[in-house]
Copies of this chain bind each other. A is one copy, B any other.
Amino acid sequence: RIDSARLWDSLMALARIGATPKGGVCRLALTDLDRQGRDLFVQWAREAGCEVRVDQIGNIFARRAGVENSLPPVMMGSHIDTQPTGGKFDGNFGVLGGLEVVRRLNDAGIRTLAPIEVVAWTNEEGSRFVPVMMGSGVFAGAFGLEDVLPQQDTEGKRVGDELRRIGYAGSVPAKHFPIKAYFEAHIEQGPILEATDTVIGVVKGALGQRWYDVTVTGMEAHAGPTPMDLRKDALLASARLITAINQIALDHAPDARSTVGWIDAYPNSRNVIPGTVKFSVDLRAADDDVLDAMDAALAAACRALAEEGRVDVQVKQVVYFPPQPFDETQVQAVRCASERLSLPHRDIVSGAGHDAVYLARVTPTAMIFIPCKDGISHNEIEEASQAHVEAGCNVLLHAVLEQAGV
């Protein structure tokens, strides 16, 4: 069993770097605060006897030697960068949970057969630099180092320059190497575990995602003198589309999601009928065929609206992640560990993207979810209980030990 107080204290210590008045954390990727957070993790890892390496995209690998160091390591990790209004647990739990496993093995004097390795991936959040999950994406070969180093933040600062500035432009090639298994512990960021009084979510995989930009074009006109039957109201048309888009997920229950999170109306004036409305669409599903069907339903809804002849509708896909099932053996390792520890658990699908989704492309992968209060994340009020954090880390310990061998 891991040391619950030590893990909790470490989480709280890391959360002081970039702490916000409302109890959250703002520690954007590759800022001075990120450097301080990274330095603390590196210091702790070295104190725990790990060898630390940094790759060209700034991913930090802390390795605890095994008996057979030619064996591929078992890896645990997540990220320590946060949203601008982030919390203490998102990402940080996966990294410090991994560190706690190392510390506990040290306490107990246990040597694993394979080496084990804790990793902190660069810029998972994507708040300061796109794309999201940058470090794990480069590692897995989803995109190239040359694609992301020139990426700029809103002030024009580049990923490559910022990595050098904070001292984390490492020399290890940013490319995957043989790994026995990857485990990522994370808060659920959703309400299911809490609503079902479950402590551990055994994550079977992650939903596929398709994101779109939609532009509805009508004609702006004065709200007073323009009769209803002569209007080309882009907001009314958008409102009907938003309702139809919600129905698309309901038609593919239970694992489908559709969300319109962003909307912008022009000219956005009380007494002017909106002429142009832009909004985003986020479709998710556990199965690629379902996601394709949802994509077709979106196109059909837009076409049907345009065919009424009042507005023009343009749809452009901007993001695609295929659904990512996790490795059945590793998922089973998480399930068995929960059972062995007598923790209430259930299978769950991750609705959000995680570093594990890229890792799953190159190594057998699984995730361990714990509940977060009211399902709230990406928010300064994000919260998880010490008991759940402890439980999640114990599952991680057991799953890793089983894969690494003693």
Contact = CB atoms under 8 A, between A and B. Distances in A.
State the oligomeric state as a number of copies.
Answer: 2
The 9 A-B pairs at the shortest CB distance, nearest first, are namely A190-B225, A224-B351, A225-B351, A223-B259, A224-B352, A239-B242, A239-B239, A270-B280, A189-B225
A377 B77 CA distance: 59
A233 B246 contact: yes
A223 B376 CA distance: 11
Interface string A262-302: 11010011111110000010101000000000000000000
A378 B242 contact: no
A257 B223 contact: yes
A124 B375 CA distance: 51
Given A189-B222, A270-B261, A351-B222, A243 B239 contact: yes
Interface in A190-232: 190-192, 195, 207, 209, 211, 220-228, 230
B274 A224 contact: no
A258 B226 CA distance: 10
A188 interface: yes
A309 interface: no
Interface of A: 188-192, 195, 207, 209, 211, 220-228, 230, 233, 235-236, 238-240, 242-243, 246, 249-250, 253-254, 256-263, 265, 268-274, 280, 282, 284, 350-353, 375-379
B261 A221 contact: no
Nearest to A235: B260
B268 A230 contact: no
A124 to B, nearest CB: 14
A68 B246 CA distance: 71
Nearest to A260: B235
Nearest to A319: B270
Contact of A261 (B271, B353, B379): B271
A286 to B, nearest CB: 12
A20 to B, nearest CB: 16
B226 A191 contact: yes
A37 to B, nearest CB: 23
Nearest to A249: B228
Contacts of A262: 265, 268-270
7 contacts: A190-B222, A211-B271, A223-B282, A223-B284, A235-B260, A240-B243, A263-B263
A257 B259 CA distance: 30
Nearest to A191: B230
A352 B350 CA distance: 52
Select the residue from A225, A238, A246 with max chain B CB neighbours within 10 A.
A225
Contacts of A249: 228
A233 B260 CA distance: 9
Given A239-B242, A242-B235, A259-B223, A228 B207 contact: no
A287 to B, nearest CB: 15
A109 to B, nearest CB: 39
Contacts of A271: 211, 259, 261, 282, 352
Contact of A353 (B224, B226, B238): B224
Contacts of A269: 261-262
Contacts of A351: 222-226
Contacts of A375: 221-222, 225-226, 230
Contacts of A220: 379
Contact of A263 (B211, B265, B273): B265
A205 to B, nearest CB: 13
